[in-house]
């Protein structure tokens, strides 16, 4: 009897203090309250995680915005039908700026002249459509222009002098002579006093040499021109009218002996006279 009473007393104590150890079929109030509290805590924890996670706004190619969570990944389909996983990327998008160049834009005819100059460079003779040109300064420029479809000599019978003088006069009459600081590709270059043509020991040899611009840069002033060198043949050389006294920017135009003439002018920049827009001839 005492043993039965002890068991009943123990059961009553357990019922009053906690129901955790009892089967749920007894519908214990303490168990229900604990479950409700746990459920409420789980909801609050889930809400706190969602609020704490930063959101990243990205733009789709069509301009619409898409919001994604930083701790999630999205799956997108590529054009090939395969699926790839992409994670959020917070790095800034940098749009490349357009390429800036100081090289002047040129016409199709000027491009043809540059191509013809590259064709002529280094050649020992120039024959175009059965017509052979002289291997001197004016003959080379005439050949380059002729290959590009322009005959600089069509009015030669109207003027006197050598080839360089006649080309200059042809352009002058047509209003195509000018004196730019940075000539452009296709411009015909004229120089004075490149050698003592009349053998009088003076600097009075006008229009003694001719060449043509192959490339130029407006910002730096660097010019590459083609011409006939008395020893090297048809070559490309440099000139810079923004740095006229610097031999690192300008080719030597006069011989060692000619440098002794008054003024000591011997670089291409020193002897530059003017330029002609021969590519505008009709």
Average pLDDT over residues 146-165: 97
Least confident residue range of 101-105, 113-117, 122-126, 165-169:
101-105
SS3 state at 185: coil
Q: How confident is the model at residue 233 (pLDDT cuts 50, 70, 90)?
A: very high
**Mean pLDDT rounded to a whole number for the chain:** 77
Report angle CA 7, 8, 11 to the nearest 5 degrees. Answer: 85
Sequence ranges of the domains in the chain: 2-71, 108-280
Q: Which residues contact 257 (CB under 8 A, 6 or more apart)?
A: none
Instruction: Check pLDDT > 90 for residue 174.
Output: yes
Residue 255's pLDDT is what?
74
- 220-242 burial: b if 16+ Cβ within 10 Å, else e: ebbbbbbbbeeeeebebbebbbe
Residue 262's pLDDT is what?
64
- pLDDT single digits (tens) 205-226: 999 999 999 999 999 999 999 9
Q: Decide: pTM greater than 0.85.
A: no
CA distance 187 to 176: 10
State whether the Cα torsion 186-193-143-136 is positive or negative. Answer: negative
CATH number of 108-280: 3.90.1720
């Amino acid at each position: 009897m005492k043993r039965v009473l002890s068991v009943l007393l123990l059961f009553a104590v357990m019922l009053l203090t906690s129901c955790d150890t009892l089967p749920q079929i007894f519908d214990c109030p303490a168990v229900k309250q604990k479950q409700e509290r746990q459920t409420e805590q789980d909801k609050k924890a889930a809400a706190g995680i969602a609020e704490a996670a930063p959101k990243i706004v990205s733009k789709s190619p069509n301009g619409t915005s898409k919001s994604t969570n930083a701790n999630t990944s999205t799956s997108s389909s590529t054009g090939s039908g395969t699926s790839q996983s992409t994670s959020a990327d917070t790095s800034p998008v940098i749009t490349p700026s357009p390429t800036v160049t100081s090289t002047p834009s040129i016409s199709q005819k000027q491009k043809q002249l540059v191509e013809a100059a590259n064709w002529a460079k280094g050649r020992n003779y120039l024959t175009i459509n059965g017509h052979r040109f002289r291997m001197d300064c004016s003959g080379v420029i005439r050949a380059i222009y002729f290959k590009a479809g322009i005959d600089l000599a069509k009015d030669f019978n109207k003027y006197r002098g050598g080839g360089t003088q006649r080309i200059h006069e042809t352009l002058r009459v047509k209003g195509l002579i000018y004196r730019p600081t940075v000539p452009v590709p296709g411009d015909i270059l004229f120089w004075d006093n490149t050698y003592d043509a009349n053998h009088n020991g003076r600097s009075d040899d006008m229009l003694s040499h001719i060449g043509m611009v192959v490339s130029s840069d407006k910002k730096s002033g660097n010019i590459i021109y083609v011409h006939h060198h008395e020893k090297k043949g048809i070559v490309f050389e440099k000139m810079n009218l923004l740095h006229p006294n610097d031999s690192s920017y300008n080719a030597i135009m006069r011989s060692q002996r000619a440098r002794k003439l008054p003024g000591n002018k011997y670089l291409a920049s020193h002897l530059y006279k003017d330029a002609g827009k021969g590519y505008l001839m009709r």
